Structure 1
Amino acid sequence: MQTSEVSRLWNKNQIIETITRGLNQIKTNVFWKSRKTIQGLGTQMFLLSILSIALLILLFFYSFDISSKTSAFIDFHKQDVIKINLESSSIPNVVEAYIFSKFEYLNQTRKPSEGFIAFLVASFTGDARLAYNPYPRLREKISQIEERLGDNSSTDLIIFHTGYPFRGDLLPIIQVTRRQVEFVNVDHIFYKFPPGFDPHIRDPTWSQRGKWNYHHMCNFWFKQVFELKIIQRYRYMMRLDDDSQLLGKWPNVFEIMAKHKALYMANQREVDFEYILPGITLVRNLTIVYINKNKITVRNPAMFANIFDRTMEIPNYWNNFEIIDLSFMRRKEVVDFIQFVDESRGVFLYRWGDAPLRYITLALFVNSTQILHRKQLGLDYCHPC
Structure 2
Amino acid sequence: MPPGPVVRYFAVAVGILVSLHYILSFSHKEYGRRMSLSQWLPGQPPYKRPIPSKYYPYHPITGEANMTIRKANAAFVLLARNSDLPGVLESLKQIQDRFNKKFQYPFVFLNEEDFSDDFKKWTSEVTSTHCVYGKIAKDHWFQPGWIDEDQATKSRAQNQEYLISVPYRNMCRFNSGFFFRHELLKNYDYYWRIEPSVKFFCDIDYDPFLIMQDEKKVYGFTISLFEYIETIPTLWDATKEFIKANPELLPADNAMAFVSDDGGETYNRCHFWSNFEIGDLNFWRGEAYMRFFEFLESKGGFYYERWGDAPVHSIGAALFAHKDQIHFFRDIGYRHEPFQHCPQGESHAQGKCWCSTSENFGQCRPNRYSCLNKYDALF
TM over 0.5: yes
- Contact preservation (8 Å) 1:236, 1:324: yes
- Contact preservation (8 Å) 2:251, 2:320: yes
Deviates more, 1:314-323 or 1:257-266: 257-266
Q: Which residue of 2 aligns with 1:241?
A: 195
Q: Which residue of 1 aligns with 2:372?
A: none
SS across alignment from 1:296: helix
Question: Does residue 1:169 correspond to 2:119, yes or no?
Answer: yes
Question: Does residue 1:381 correspond to 2:340, yes or no?
Answer: no
Question: Does residue 1:202 correspond to 2:152, yes or no?
Answer: yes
Residue 276 of structure 2 aligns with an amino acid whose one-letter code is F
Q: Displacement, 1:209?
A: 6.9
Q: Which residue of 1 aligns with 2:186?
A: 232
Structure 1 pair 139–306 and aligned structure 2 pair: CA distance change class (3 A): closer
Which is higher, the Rg of structure 1 or of structure 2? Answer: 1
Q: Displacement, 1:336?
A: 0.8
Counterpart Cα distance in 1 of 2:252 and 2:226: 18
Aligned pairs, number:
260
Q: Which residue of 1 aligns with 2:248?
A: 296
Structure 1 pair 239–206 and aligned structure 2 pair: CA distance change class (3 A): farther
- Contact preservation (8 Å) 1:164, 1:185: yes
* Pairing of 1:249-268 with structure 2 (within 5 A): 249-250=203-204, 251-268=206-223
Structure 1 pair 300–246 and aligned structure 2 pair: CA distance change class (3 A): farther
Counterpart Cα distance in 1 of 2:322 and 2:122: 42
SS across alignment from 2:282: helix
Counterpart Cα distance in 1 of 2:267 and 2:181: 32
Q: Displacement, 1:191?
A: 3.6
- Contact preservation (8 Å) 1:236, 1:326: yes
Q: Which residue of 2 aligns with 1:353?
A: 308
Q: Which residue of 1 aligns with 2:105?
A: 155
- Contact preservation (8 Å) 2:222, 2:328: yes
Q: Displacement, 1:162?
A: 2.6
Question: Does residue 1:215 correspond to 2:169, yes or no?
Answer: yes
Residue segments in structure 1 that go unaligned for 5+ positions in a row: 1-111, 124-132
Q: Which residue of 2 aligns with 1:137?
A: 87
Question: Does residue 1:116 correspond to 2:75, yes or no?
Answer: yes
- Contact preservation (8 Å) 2:236, 2:267: no
Offset from partner CA, 1:335-361 (integer Å, 9 cap, x none) = 111111111111111111111111110
Q: Displacement, 1:270?
A: 0.9
Kindly, what percent of the aligned residue pairs are identical? 22
Structure 1 pair 183–299 and aligned structure 2 pair: CA distance change class (3 A): same
SS across alignment from 1:163: coil
Structure 1 pair 282–373 and aligned structure 2 pair: CA distance change class (3 A): same
Question: Aligned match of 1:363 in 305, 314, 318?
Answer: 318
Q: Displacement, 1:171?
A: 0.8
Structure 1 pair 300–347 and aligned structure 2 pair: CA distance change class (3 A): farther
Counterpart Cα distance in 2 of 1:185 and 1:219: 16
- Contact preservation (8 Å) 1:119, 1:239: yes
Structure 1 pair 370–384 and aligned structure 2 pair: CA distance change class (3 A): same
CA RMSD of aligned residues (A): 2.5
- Contact preservation (8 Å) 2:81, 2:113: yes
Q: Which residue of 2 aligns with 1:287?
A: 239
Q: Which residue of 2 aligns with 1:337?
A: 292
Offset from partner CA, 1:358-384 (integer Å, 9 cap, x none) = 111012111111111122xx1111112
- Contact preservation (8 Å) 1:154, 1:179: yes
Q: Which residue of 2 aligns with 1:270?
A: 225
- Contact preservation (8 Å) 1:273, 1:313: no
Offset from partner CA, 1:42-62 (integer Å, 9 cap, x none) = xxxxxxxxxxxxxxxxxxxxx
- Contact preservation (8 Å) 2:74, 2:105: yes
Counterpart Cα distance in 1 of 2:222 and 2:296: 23
Counterpart Cα distance in 2 of 1:287 and 1:201: 21
Counterpart Cα distance in 1 of 2:223 and 2:87: 24
Counterpart Cα distance in 1 of 2:322 and 2:132: 34
- Contact preservation (8 Å) 2:91, 2:194: no
Counterpart Cα distance in 1 of 2:290 and 2:108: 23
Q: Displacement, 1:211?
A: 2.7
Q: Displacement, 1:167?
A: 2.1
- Contact preservation (8 Å) 1:190, 1:220: yes
- Contact preservation (8 Å) 1:117, 1:240: yes
Q: Which residue of 1 aligns with 2:23?
A: none
Q: Which residue of 2 aligns with 1:51?
A: none
* Pairing of 1:302-321 with structure 2 (within 5 A): 303-309=255-261, 313-321=268-276
* Pairing of 1:41-190 with structure 2 (within 5 A): 114-123=73-82, 133-150=83-100, 152-186=102-136, 188-190=138-140
- Contact preservation (8 Å) 1:298, 1:364: yes
Structure 1 consecutive aligned stretches of length 4 or more whose deviation exceeds 6 Å: none
Q: Displacement, 1:151?
A: 6.3
SS across alignment from 1:270: strand
Q: Displacement, 1:169?
A: 3.1
Q: Which residue of 2 aligns with 1:48?
A: none
Counterpart Cα distance in 2 of 1:288 and 1:209: 26
- Contact preservation (8 Å) 1:281, 1:312: no
Counterpart Cα distance in 1 of 2:290 and 2:223: 25
Offset from partner CA, 1:286-314 (integer Å, 9 cap, x none) = 11111111233533667324434396852
Counterpart Cα distance in 2 of 1:313 and 1:328: 24
Q: Which residue of 1 aligns with 2:40?
A: none
TM-score if structure 2 supplies the norm length? 0.63
